[in-house]
Chain A
Amino acid sequence: QSALTQPASVSGSPGQSITISCTGTSSDIGGYNYVSWYQQYPGKAPKLMICDVSKRPSGVSYRFSGSKSGNTASLTISGLQAEDEADYYCASYTSSAQWVFGGGTKLTVL
Chain B
Amino acid sequence: EVQLVESGGGLVQPGGSLRLSCEASGLTFNTEWMTWVRQAPGKGLEWVANIKDDGSQKYYVDSVKGRFTISRDNAKNTLYLQMNSLRVEDTAVYYCATHSNWVFGFWGQGTLVTVSS
User: Is B110 touching A99 in the complex (CB atoms < 8 A)?
Assistant: no
Q: Across the interface, which residues of A come within 8 angstroms of B108, CB to CB?
A: 45
B98 to chain A, nearest CB (A): 10
Q: Say yes or no: A38-B45 contact (C-beta < 8 A), given A52-B102, A99-B50.
A: yes
Q: Across the interface, which residues of A come within 8 angstroms of B45, CB to CB?
A: 38, 40, 46, 89, 91, 101, 104
Distance A99 CA – B21 CA, assembled complex (angstroms): 21
Q: Across the interface, which residues of B come within 8 angstroms of A48, CB to CB?
A: 103-105
B80 to chain A, nearest CB (A): 19
Q: Give B96-117 as 1s and 0s: 1 = Cβ < 8 Å from A's Cβ atoms.
A: 0000011111011110000000
Q: Across the interface, which residues of B come within 8 angstroms of A91, CB to CB?
A: 45, 47, 104
Q: Number of B residues contacting the other chain (C-beta, 8 Å)?
A: 21
Q: Does B46 contact A (CB under 8 A)?
A: yes
Q: Give B36-77 as 1s and 0s: 1 = Cβ < 8 Å from A's Cβ atoms.
A: 010000001111001000000001111000000000000000
User: Is A45 touching B44 in the complex (CB atoms < 8 A)?
Assistant: no
Q: Give B10-43 as 1s and 0s: 1 = Cβ < 8 Å from A's Cβ atoms.
A: 0000000000000000000000000101000000
User: Is B103 touching A51 in the complex (CB atoms < 8 A)?
Assistant: yes
Q: Across the interface, which residues of B come within 8 angstroms of A95, CB to CB?
A: none
Q: Would you give 28 A-B contacts (Cβ < 8 Å), ordered by A?
A: A36-B102, A36-B104, A38-B45, A40-B45, A44-B109, A45-B95, A45-B107, A46-B45, A46-B107, A48-B104, A51-B101, A51-B102, A52-B102, A57-B105, A89-B44, A91-B45, A97-B59, A98-B47, A98-B61, A98-B62, A99-B47, A99-B50, A101-B37, A101-B44, A101-B45, A101-B46, A101-B47, A104-B44
